[in-house]
């Protein structure tokens, strides 16, 4: 088991990570804690068994604490305004501020445009576009006062324009959300460029998370391209420390970051 380095590259930093009950968010919470961050682990699933997919924020926090790290669990439904505010308030109350915000949470329905119901459309926009936008608003004041901070948004290859001759799987709305998230990222990076705040967006590639497996997104045609979640965790760590003026406004992919900066994945706590 990998040890927590209290003097790591995120020593003393407070990181809020949404969608951290399983998959990529869970991996990021563990990796950031390994580098000394105090992690606020957030999602809707609090206890194991609360969701049909495995994982919960209490389990993630328990593993971090057992390894010698610092973390708290905060239940939040990002479609609810009060929960978004409460998440940031809880982080400030527990640790004094937010140095790193990772917008990873998502809710996804794969339905063709002609059949897509308005309720689900608005829910996806709320969770994947408006929530990252508002959470950024809520943490930016503190970051500006300290003259430092990092915001990392998790996107997807779905943001890229698809080949028009390929049969779709109902991912148009998902792609819209991620494309909007990427444009938000580069715009915000420009706005805060001179304030010591880095803003980046990253896509994981194809990772065998519980959600990916549930939606059957891995098949014979792409199974050779599946990458370990540890690679995403390492790339996301790299995009949340260092010089924000040279590492901001990036639209990245996990494998590209790993290669560009010669990173090696670490085993997670």
Residues that are catalytic? 174
* C-alpha span between 245 and 235 (Å, rounded): 18
- 128: tokens are 């994947």
Of 59, 174, 54, 44, which Cα lies nearest the Cα of 111?
Answer: 174
**Cα→Cα distances 127→101, 158, 242, Å:** 15, 16, 29
* C-alpha span between 259 and 251 (Å, rounded): 15
């Amino acid at each position: 088991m990998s040890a927590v380095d209290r003097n790591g590259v995120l020593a003393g930093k407070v990181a809020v990570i949404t969608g951290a009950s399983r998959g990529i968010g869970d991996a990021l919470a563990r990796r950031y804690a390994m580098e000394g961050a105090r992690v606020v682990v957030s999602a809707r699933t609090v206890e194991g068994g609360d969701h049909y997919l495995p994982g919960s924020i209490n389990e993630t926090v328990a593993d971090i604490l057992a390894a010698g790290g610092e973390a708290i669990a905060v239940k939040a439904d990002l479609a609810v305004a009060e929960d978004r505010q409460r998440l940031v308030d809880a982080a400030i109350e527990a640790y004094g501020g937010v140095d790193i915000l990772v917008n990873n949470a998502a809710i996804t329905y794969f339905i063709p445009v002609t059949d897509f119901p308005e309720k689900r459309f608005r829910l996806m926009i709320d969770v994947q576009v408006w929530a990252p936008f508002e959470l950024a608003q809520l943490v930016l004041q503190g970051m500006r006062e300290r003259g430092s901070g990092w915001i990392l948004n998790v996107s997807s290859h779905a943001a890229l324009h698809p080949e028009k001759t390929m049969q779709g799987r109902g991912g148009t709305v998902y792609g819209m959300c991620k494309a909007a998230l990427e444009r938000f990222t580069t715009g915000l990076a420009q706005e805060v460029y001179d304030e010591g705040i880095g803003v980046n967006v990253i896509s994981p590639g194809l990772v065998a998370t519980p959600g990916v497996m549930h939606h059957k997104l891995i098949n014979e045609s792409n199974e050779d391209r599946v990458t370990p979640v540890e690679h995403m965790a390492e790339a996301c760590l790299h995009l949340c420390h260092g010089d924000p003026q040279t590492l901001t406004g990036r639209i990245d992919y996990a494998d590209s970051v790993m290669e560009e900066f010669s990173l090696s994945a670490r085993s997670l706590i």
